[in-house]
Structure 1
Amino acid sequence: MGASDKLLGGAMLLTAAVVFTYYTTWAMLLPFFDSSSEIHNFFPPREWAVRLPAMILLVGLFAIGTFVANTIIKENRKKARQARLRTA
């Protein structure tokens, strides 16, 4: 494992930790602060704490579905090509 792999892994871990901390503060801790508190200025409206992950989930499921469908189509084309070569 090279230094670039470790650097990339560290950057990904740091990004995940920052996103986790921000989202946890936004979704779980923000309701305990008074609505006039300055901390509310650092976060979008609370309904986006549900909408944003739902959208990300939908996009992720669409990407996975597209990848699987594309793989299946390519595999079927490859099998059809091989079957045509055997009969010819």
Structure 2
Amino acid sequence: MELADRAVGLLLSVISLSIFTYYTFWIVILPFVDSDHFVHKYFLPQEYAIFIPVYAGVALICFLSIFIGYVMLKPKKKKA
């Protein structure tokens, strides 16, 4: 099982690093590149740089709130 855990950890690290690199390039470097350069076709418009993280954060907070509410309202089992 340890090998599977390491593989999942490596996969999550690679995905996180690639998302971070893409977002950083999109926000920090792309505004300084000419607008007619071919690299612009690989990125969304700049407005989405704010909308996507905000919506993801709101969805995460909603999910966590629902989960915490479910755990708090779940009936407790009595010990025998």
- Determine if the TM-score, normalized by the shorter chain, exceeds 0.5: yes
Q: Which consecutive unaligned segments of at least 5 residues does structure 2 have?
A: none
> Could you tell me how far apart the structure 2 residues matched to 1:29 and 1:49 are?
13
Number of the residue aligned with 1:56? 56
- Of all paired residues, the percent bearing the same amino acid is 31
Say which structure is richer in helix.
1
Please state how far the C-alpha of 1:27 moved relative to its aligned partner.
1.1
> Could you tell me how far apart the structure 2 residues matched to 1:27 and 1:57 are?
18
Please state how far the C-alpha of 1:44 moved relative to its aligned partner.
0.6
2:34 match: secondary structure: coil
Number of the residue aligned with 2:21? 21
Q: Which consecutive unaligned segments of at least 5 residues does structure 1 have?
A: 83-88
> Could you tell me how far apart the structure 2 residues matched to 1:63 and 1:25 are?
29
| Structure 2 counterpart of 1:3, one-letter code | L
> Could you tell me how far apart the structure 2 residues matched to 1:56 and 1:68 are?
18
Please state how far the C-alpha of 1:6 moved relative to its aligned partner.
0.6
Show structure 1 runs of 4+ deviating over 2 A. none
TM-score when normalising by structure 2? 0.91
TM-score when normalising by structure 1? 0.83
**Aligned length in residues:** 78
1:78 match: secondary structure: coil
1:34 match: secondary structure: coil
**1:5-16 equivalence runs, <5 A:** 5-16=5-16
- Name the Cα RMSD after superposition: 1.4
Give the structure with higher Rg (CA): 1
